[in-house]
Amino acid sequence: MINETKKVPLHMSIIMDGNGRWANERGKERVYGHFEGVSSVRACVEAAVENGVRYLSLFAFSEENWNRPSDEVSTLMGLMVKAMADEMDSLDRNGVRFMVLGNRERLDPELNATIDACMARTSGNEVLTLIIFLSYSGKWDILQAAKRLALELAECPEKREDVSNLDADGFSRYLVTDGIPDPDLIVRTSGEYRLSNYLLWQGAYSEFYFTETLWPDFRKEEFAKAVESYAKRDRRYGKVK
Ligand code: IPE
Ligand code: IPE
Ligand code: MG
């Protein structure tokens, strides 16, 4: 039941961390934690719908994560393809619009084709927008926006005045998150207290929620605790209330 009077984040974002430690604690390979983490993704998508969250974004793979051992990287990429193939029917049936944002040029063609198919199939859905940040980093996003803007100006010098009048909202239209509201709440699991180059621009006024729980253990109950914590926050945006 959605409580109409409760303050719910319109956009909740999660830095899914702690898969490797979860597996190591059980004497298993790190990738076992990534496999188990897919069940947490499923649980959080359901929880988002149940709690009335309209945008759920998940940090799945950073630009820096390309520096991990190549077998871990290829297992993770294979897991993405499999998870999308396995989950797409159910996501579509439940009205979930699926998106992947990040540096798509670094992804292999099979993964890109799967992403394109899933995004096209679910583009009209309106219950929940699920965004997977893949090969994403905040600095990369700001840089690609600045480069596109510079190239546009080089090709079209008459835009000079438009560019000099550009404000923060105008600039944010060049970020990959164009059209997506900024995250109201950013959650990070596994007891790490940092952004790791995640939504640097978009998170300017986000609330934060940190938990010791490792990502494979982050299920509906943990999701509800984060939403509960958000409901008690007082957002002031620099003003006096
Ligand atoms: C998060 O878990 C998943 C990714 C970053 C891909 P980790 O793989 O970072 O797990 P820990 O932090 O080493 O435990
Ligand atoms: C952040 O987790 C990136 C994702 C969750 C995708 P990491 O495990 O890569 O972050 P660091 O290296 O501990 O900062
Ligand atoms: Mg980690």
pLDDT in tens, 140-167: 999 999 999 999 999 999 999 999 999 9
Spans of all domains in the chain? 12-113+128-230
Indicate whether residue 216 lines ligand 1 (CB < 6 A). Answer: no
In 30-160, the DSSP E strands lie at: 55-62, 96-101, 128-136
Q: Of 236, 229, 231, 218, give the one whose Cα is nearest residue 14.
A: 218
List strands edge to edge, sheet with 96-101: 96-101, 128-136, 55-62, 11-15, 185-188, 207-210
Atom of ligand 1 at shortest distance to CA of 22? 14
Phi, psi (deg, nearest 5) at residue 158: -70, -10
Nearest residue (by CA) to ligand 2, atom 2, is: 17
Nearest residue (by CA) to ligand 1, atom 12, is: 18
pLDDT digits (tens, 9 = 90+) for 172-229: 999 999 999 999 999 999 999 999 999 999 999 999 999 999 999 999 999 999 999 9
Q: Look up the CATH number of domain 12-113+128-230.
A: 3.40.1180.10
Average pLDDT of the segment spanning 82-95: 98
The pLDDT value given to residue 79: 97
Average pLDDT of the segment spanning 103-132: 98
Indicate whether residue 18 lines ligand 1 (CB < 6 A). Answer: yes
Indicate whether residue 133 lines ligand 1 (CB < 6 A). Answer: no
Between 5 and 20, where is the model more confident?
20
Ligand nearest to the CA of 29: 1
The pLDDT value given to residue 4: 57
Distance 99 CA to ligand 3 centre (A): 23
Report whether pLDDT(67) > 80: yes
Q: In Å, how far from its chain's centre is CA 203?
A: 12
Q: Which residues are identified as catalytic?
A: 17, 65
Q: Which residue has the tokens 């009205």?
A: 95
Average pLDDT of the segment spanning 57-66: 98
The pLDDT value given to residue 6: 82
Ligand nearest to the CA of 188: 2
Report whether pLDDT(2) > 60: no
Nearest residue (by CA) to ligand 1, atom 6, is: 61
- Read out DSSP for 227-240? HHHHHT----TT--
